[in-house]
């Protein structure tokens, strides 16, 4: 299992647009992608409503978890880029 800790940097936190993009990226992957908050709540990233229910705000720290695979690192990079745009 690979994990990536990310501090949310998008304005308004994880609202509909970035969460939909996270779901799209996760759906293209072969295995489940889990998003966890510091408080211990978690959701499958492909579920937009479940992720939005986590009420993730700007500055919050989250952890993505994905099964180790050849594409897992690139997926984690893409997921991080959605929540921490440059």
Nearest to 44 by CA among 35, 52, 53, 54: 35
Q: Which pTM does this prediction carry?
A: 0.93
Residue 69 φ/ψ, nearest 5 degrees = -155, 170
Give residue-wise pLDDT tens across range 15-61: 899 999 999 999 999 889 999 999 999 999 999 999 999 999 999 99
CATH of 2-83, one of 3.40.50.1820, 3.30.1340.10, 3.40.640.10, 3.40.50.920: 3.30.1340.10
Residue 47 carries which DSSP code? -
What pLDDT score does 59 carry? 94
Q: Is 55 exposed, middle or buried (0-12, 13-18, 19+ CB in 10 A)?
A: exposed
């Amino acid at each position: 299992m690979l994990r990536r800790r990310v501090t949310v940097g998008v304005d308004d936190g994880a609202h509909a647009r970035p969460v939909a993009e996270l779901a799209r990226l996760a759906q293209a992957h072969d295995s489940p992608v889990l998003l966890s908050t510091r408080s211990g709540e978690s959701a499958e990233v492909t579920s937009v409503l479940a992720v939005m229910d986590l009420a993730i705000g700007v500055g919050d720290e989250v952890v993505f978890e994905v099964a180790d695979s050849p594409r897992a690192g690139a997926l984690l990079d893409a997921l991080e880029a959605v929540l921490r745009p440059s």
